[in-house]
Chains A and B, each alone.
Chain A
Amino acid sequence: MRRDLLALVWLVGFGLATGAWAAAIVATIDRPEATVEDQLLLTVVIEGSRGARPILPEIPSFDVYPQGQSTQMSFINGRMSSSVTHNYLLVPKAAGVFEIGAVTTEVDGEILTSQPFQVRILEASAQPQQRRELFITARVSTTNPFVGQEVVYIWRFYRRVRIGDARLEPQKFPGFLVEDLGEVREYKRTVNGVEYLVSEIRKALFPQELGSFVIPASRLTCEVVLRDPRRPRSIMDDFFGAARTETKVLRSGEIDIEVRPLPDPPAGFSGLVGNFAVEASLSKQQVKVGESATLRLKVSGTGNVPLIGEPDFAELPAFKIYPDQPERSINRSGSSLSGSRTFSKALVPLQPGDWVIPPVEILYFNPETATYQTARTAEIPLSVSPAAGDEDLHLTESIAPNTGKVAVRILADDILPIYGELDAVSRSSDSRRSTLLFLLALIAPIGLYFSARFVQQRRRRMRHDLAFQRRRGALRRARRELDRVAGLDPDPEAMAQSASLCLRQYIGDKLGLEGGALTPSELDESLRAQGVGEALSSETRDLLERLEAAHFGAASLEAGGWTQQVATLVKRLEGELKR
């Protein structure tokens, strides 16, 4: 860092006018010989340009991991030189002698190339393991399994240095059904006198097809903490991350597996490969007709346990059989896959007698002996006694043994009988009539209420509003008065006077005035003001004037004529004033 700073100061001080040194590229490897479990460090130094990037050749025999770059600058005799170092980690894929081709780069339009060189990669066993600080191994329980046979794959990571940030690439197992065997196990193990910390992963592999398969190499990348021998390790190193680390890529070998076919399977082969057993048990061996006993069939073993199916069970005509949901348990914690599946059935005997539950068999292939084997249960006797006399009528089961009371069981069910009442057809529903009746019944009380309310309001008004009272009773009073006058006095003059008074009173009642005190022309005006037509009001005035004239003997007319004329006029006025 200080050197970089110094370089910067020099750069500022002398300016950029000074030319750079001639450009060059150099590729070097840290060692010419290694094993497949090692890794090599390829260093590419480009001088004379800080921006140039190296182009690596095709290196098919190695996995290449870029490890970053560093820049150096120096001034010698007033000339500036700069170089960039690129680091790559090369992890060999196989043993052999390989050539690392020329690394190229372009500086100011000039193509530069490095010298190619050779690397020799030895087999892993060429170097004793105990000399290494960390390595991984992968092995299988057998490389020549039968189809369906369990192959246990064991992967171990040995280390005796501190590491961090370990990353295991996901492992692939083409051609196999894979079941994990528990979590990662950690333990210590001494190999050739050296103690290692070991992480172990186990998987159960089941080959699905015949042929040759390769389990590819597994690869683990981790950071190894480097120790400075001159300085004791401090807890602060961990805390501040000050410890230097180095990336390591570990690789296990590939594993070749040749899958063998099973010998010709006999009829009834269950498809199970491994070591299996079957057992049967009955919950009780003495039952009555109608009671149930539970038969449990348990198939257990090691091998391809996920494939355990229900064994064939002979038909039992004397029983009704109700199967239950099977239960499954798989044990993954052991060194290989084991487990069981239990099938339960409720057997309900239909007839009394001494019956035998026949043996149940499963046929499986045992890869250890390479033969087909049969696991079989023993026969189970079952004694069925007849249901006790009275209980035939209502099959019962004890629900409270202490009291001896029993729950009634319904034997059979049927629909209830039909209705016979004749009033079921007493009424025919006519929807239109029903709607009408419904509406009427709904509206009638409302109508009645409003009528009552109207009558009440009217009565109240009549009681308190005198003008209203006069107005409402005007016609009635006028008619009564006219009738009385017509029958009372035959004198034309008196009759004219009475008729005139009657008409004026009627108009007065209608208009809320004192009618008897008004002149014909005043009445005429008042009528017009109330909206009575001009013709009718003039006619009223004329009649009144003529009646007055007759009263004072200026005109002569028949008495009946006056009352009739007044009655007609009142009728017309009533019609006009109502409007």
Chain B
Amino acid sequence: MSRWWTSSLFVLAVLTVHASGLYAAQQVETVTELPSVELQGGLSRARATEVFLKANSAYKEGDYAKAAEGYQRLVGAGFDDGRVHYNLGNALLRRGELGRASASYLRSRAMRPRDEDVRANLDFARQSTKDAIEPPEPSEVLSTLFFWHFSLSHRELAVGLLTVNLLFWSMLGLGLVWPHRELIRWTSFLLLVLLLTLAASLLVHRFADRPVAVIVPQELNVHTAPEESSVVRFKVHAGTELRVQDQRQDWVRVSLPDGQQGWVSEGWVELAYR
């Protein structure tokens, strides 16, 4: 029984450390999203609904700039639902801002990983890019083997973890009443495995996920060093997604699928997590 205690307490410790990190990461994401929009404090829910409706009608009337501004305001005020990001992506794409649109779709997909519309529009945006560079995506084998990791959003994983956590400890509680029931013992064990799996998944998202840098300008120089004066190694174009290897001050080190690396100024890329 003491082994149960050790593992359970370990899970608890890990998750407690992780939990603050997970939400801190989401917070960073929200801030980096909107370099141009003023964060005007919170919006009331009624006001947010009004902004959303206005942005939707602006989009339908073809005023994509106004629509994008509305969606950005919502995101900035903390209404960063996957659908808002998706709508923002649509408005930006209609305005011809391919890079920022792709970044919005990627954020939307992180929140709604099984949404076919998001996937279709992201594919459309990717097809419009100039560079023949495959976007950094996990392999099919990997995403099939660890399906829960890739097809559940952070929020879903967190809710799942809480549910399993509740079930696990309730089952241990039942074990106090009926200490010798095999069924309870095996169910607790299975729940512990599930709990560890979900916790590991969240931890991987927190510590192993590297953001993707989406190129914003039509053409961008990739330098050999994090300085404007350094040699230009290669050029990439709007909408191209590159793997982020490192971040230093205002510079991001990116890599191509063939391993070629270079530095770009952070102001010219949008960072998005999977």
A residues less than 8 Å from B49 (CB atoms) = 422, 425
A418 sits at the interface (CB 8 A): yes
CA distance in complex: A417, B165 (Å): 39
**Which residue of chain A lies nearest to B12 when distances are taken between CB atoms in the complex?**
A446
Q: Which of B117-125, B141-149, B212-220, B253-261 interfaces with chain A?
A: B117-125
Closest A residue to B158 by beta carbon equals: A438
A435 to chain B, nearest CB (A): 4
A432 CA to B23 CA, complexed, in Å: 8
- Contact flag A442-B16 (CB < 8 Å), given A424-B83, A428-B43, A428-B78: yes
A1 interface contact, C-beta 8 A: no
- A431 to B, closest residue via Cβ: B27
Q: Give the residue of A416, A420, A429, A443 whose beta carbon is less than 8 angstroms from that of B26.
A: A429
Bound: A429/B74 CA distance, A: 11
| Inter-subunit contact A446/B77 (CB<8 Å) | no
Q: Is A414 an interface residue (CB 8 A)?
A: yes
Q: Specify the chain A residue showing the minimal Cβ separation from B105.
A: A415
Q: Is B72 an interface residue (CB 8 A)?
A: no
Select one of B20, B52, B59, B91 contacting A422, CB under 8 A.
B52
Using Cβ atoms and an 8 Å threshold, which residues of chain A touch B56?
A: 418, 420
| Smallest Cβ-Cβ distance to B67: which chain A residue | A418
Point out the residue from B8, B83, B127 that lies within 8 Å of A419, measured CB to CB.
Answer: B83
Give how many A residues have a beta carbon under 8 Å from the other chain's beta carbons: 33
State the majority secondary structure of interface residues on B: helix
Question: Given A435-B19, A438-B23, A439-B19 in contact, is the A425-B81 Cβ separation under 8 Å?
Answer: yes
Contact A418 B124 (CB under 8 A): no
On whether A428 and B45 interact (CB within 8 A), knowing A415-B93, A418-B59, A452-B176, the answer reads yes
CB <8 Å contact, B12 and A452: no
| A 325-337 binary contact with B (CB < 8 Å = 1; else 0) | 0000000000000
Q: Say whether A449 faces chain B, with CB atoms less than 8 Å apart.
A: yes
Contact indicator B23/A434 (Cβ below 8 Å): yes
Instruction: Kindly identify, within residues 395 to 452 of chain A, every residue whose CB is under 8 Å from any CB belonging to chain B.
Output: 413-422, 424-432, 434-435, 438-439, 441-443, 445-446, 448-449, 452
Alpha-carbon separation in the docked complex, A449 to B173 (Å): 6
Q: For the complex formed, measure the closest distance between the CB of B271 and the CB atoms of chain A, giving whole angstroms.
A: 18
Partner of B176, one of A424, A439, A446, A453: A453
0/1 interface trace, chain B 72-107, chain A, CB 8 Å (1 if under): 001001111101101100110110000000000000
Q: How far is the CA of A432 from the CA of B42 in the complex (A)?
A: 14
Contacts of B45 in A (CB 8 A): 425-426, 428
Residues on the B chain within 8 Å of A419, using CB: 83, 86-87, 117
| Contact B158–A446 (Cβ < 8 Å) | no
Per-residue CB contact flags for chain A residues 436-474 toward chain B (1 = under 8 Å, else 0) read: 001101110110110011001000000000000000000
- Please judge, given known A-B contacts A415-B121, A420-B56, A442-B16, whether A452 and B165 are in contact too, CB under 8 Å: no
Cα separation A518 to B117 with both chains bound (whole Å): 87
Give residues 150-175 of B contacting A (CB, 8 Å). Answer: 158, 161-162, 165-166, 168-170, 172-173
8 contacts between A and B (CB under 8 A): A416-B120, A425-B81, A427-B81, A429-B30, A431-B27, A442-B19, A446-B12, A448-B169
Given contacts A413-B124, A422-B49, A438-B23, 11 further A-B contacts (CB under 8 A): A419-B86, A419-B117, A424-B87, A429-B79, A431-B27, A439-B16, A439-B19, A441-B166, A445-B170, A446-B8, A449-B170
Closest 8 CB pairs of A and B: A445-B169, A419-B83, A424-B83, A435-B23, A431-B27, A428-B78, A418-B87, A425-B48
Give the interface of B toward A (CB within 8 A): 8, 12, 15-16, 19-20, 22-24, 26-27, 30, 42-43, 45, 48-49, 51-53, 56, 59, 74, 77-81, 83-84, 86-87, 90-91, 93-94, 117, 120-121, 124-125, 127, 158, 161-162, 165-166, 168-170, 172-173, 176
